[in-house]
Amino acid sequence: MDTRKGIALAILLLVLGIQTVLSQNISRASFPKGFVFGTASASYQYEGAVKEDGRGPTIWDTFSHSTGIILDGSNADVAVDEYHRYVEDIQLMKDLGMDAYRFSIAWSRIFPNGSGEINQAGVDHYNNLINALLAKGIEPYVTLYHWDLPQALEDKYIGWLDRQIIKDFALYAETCFEKFGDRVKHWITFNEPHSFSIQGYYTGLEAPGRCSTVLCPSGNSSTEPYIVAHNVLLSHAAVADIYRKNYKDKQNGSIGMSLDVKWYVPATNATENIEATQRAQDFQLGWFLDPLVFGDYPNSMRSRVGTRLPTFTESESALLKGSLDFVGINHYTTYYASENATNTIGDLLNDVVSDAGAHAIPFDKDGKPIGDMANSIWLYIVPYGMRSVTNYIKQKYGNPLVIITENGMDDPNSILIPIEDALKDEKRIKYHTDYLTNLLAAIKEDGCNVKGYFAWSLLDNWEWSAGYTSRFGLYFVDYNDNLKRYPKNSVKWFKNFLASA
């Protein structure tokens, strides 16, 4: 066993000892001074107005209009119309007592063709949004890329599969630094690159819908996810370098990346299952965070993927290493993992590539779920996962600054559920209470360096391949009555939680 593998297994066994902390009577005052609370969103899921003010089409516009994969056959042409209602929605954040709002900029609003001429109307919109947030005392956290690649770049050179994307993304990012960086102090280059590399280029279940199976018109599942991820990492490194050299000091900001992280626990104490659990984590979090901290992919990926895994030059590795000011973590759920040489349908849906040699499902050998299920078939409620993930990052990566950039759960959207009943979201209240309790234990008892928490999401919204069937919001959106917003009981809970400073 090589040294790094031995260290990783030791970390895993240490963190496995962490169990859920029972709910406590916590409040904002329980957390360290300066800890940031906010809500999160994404441009394609929220804005709507897809053909207004010069916005160019994106791969998600194309994908949602041309496939039968969206569960309810919907698209986000209107979404929750935040493009027109942002003033109203900012007031909702203010009423909640939130400190910050994480939103993404639509690349095709700034550059309708991905590069070339700037669309001033798009710049004006985000200036207005940022100024409106600051006027209410709400700090903007801006994601540069939340999956909505301009369709023009997909058409021009197949988007993230071509290294030209590095130059075009850098141009777009620097334009945002120039236009908004005097007021935006927190930048997130990418949201969940692991997720869109797998679902967009391995399973084909998300835009641009590429894979090797009959589900997709084109693609190569054995190579394309690794090429996409590689170009994403190089794009981040290039942009972080530009920011640090030209903007960071004068704008006094920071730059990071948001990574999706399921926690994995071994299905049994057998050595092969413990090792498979570590590989599952290597092929998820390690795929991106190892290069960003250590300068290269995990050893398990190098050995198992072989020549299909791209390599970094010495200068690229140096540029990647240490290119984060903070690590954004999107954490929702926890699964069991075991040794397995082949994938099941469940593995494919849950982002485990066959190269990992790991089988990950939310059920034990007797078929008992790891936790209570939310509406989404992938989301099981396991609060100790939050404490485990943050401890794992502390132990393996040297306790970097972490911000929980997404956490939440969904209820079903059903015509059979009256609005007054849908507003009674005690399950969501318990979810946030339990996950925050475990996060607090990670900070205060374990010394994890976590400085912020963003709930997904302020509003019910369009949830990618689930369409409008899934409700993650603190506010209920009535899709049948002009998108009217209604506070759920979780709004009252968060108000009380945040008011007790």
Q: Catalytic one among 139, 192, 224, 339?
A: 192
Closest CA to 334 of 360, 298, 359: 360
Closest CA to 225 of 305, 149, 157: 305
Distance from C-alpha of 151 to C-alpha of 401, rounded to nearest angstrom: 34
Distance from C-alpha of 409 to C-alpha of 432, rounded to nearest angstrom: 9
**Does residue 339 have an active-site annotation?**
no
Distance from C-alpha of 265 to C-alpha of 208, rounded to nearest angstrom: 31
Q: Terminus-to-terminus CA distance in the chain, angstroms?
A: 49
Q: Please, are residues 169 and 191 in contact by the beta-carbon 8 Å criterion?
A: no
**Does residue 192 have an active-site annotation?**
yes
Q: Please, are residues 431 and 23 in contact by the beta-carbon 8 Å criterion?
A: no
What CA–CA distances, in Å, run from 32 to 274, 436, 438, 439, 447?
34, 13, 14, 12, 12
Closest CA to 353 of 161, 216, 192, 197: 197
Place of tokens 């959207």: 413
| 314 exposure class (CB count in 10 Å sphere: 0-12, 13-18, 19+) | exposed
Beta-bridged to residue 360, according to DSSP, are 337
Element (H, E) at 405: strand 402-406
Closest CA to 266 of 330, 355, 332, 334: 334
Instruction: Examine residue 212 and say whether the peptide bond preceding it is cis (omega within 30 degrees of 0).
Output: no
The radius of gyration computed from the CA coordinates of the chain, to the nearest angstrom, equals 21
Distance from C-alpha of 226 to C-alpha of 219, rounded to nearest angstrom: 12
| 78 exposure class (CB count in 10 Å sphere: 0-12, 13-18, 19+) | middle
What CA–CA distances, in Å, run from 133 to 89, 94, 103?
10, 9, 11
Mention every residue, 6+ apart, whose C-beta is less than 8 A from residue 187.
Answer: 142, 144, 176, 177, 181, 243, 253, 254, 255, 256
Q: Please, are residues 107 and 114 in contact by the beta-carbon 8 Å criterion?
A: yes
* Exposure letters 426-455 (e unless 16+ CB within 10 A, then b): eebbbbbbbbbbbbbbbbeebebbbebbbb
Catalytic residue numbers, as ranges: 192, 406
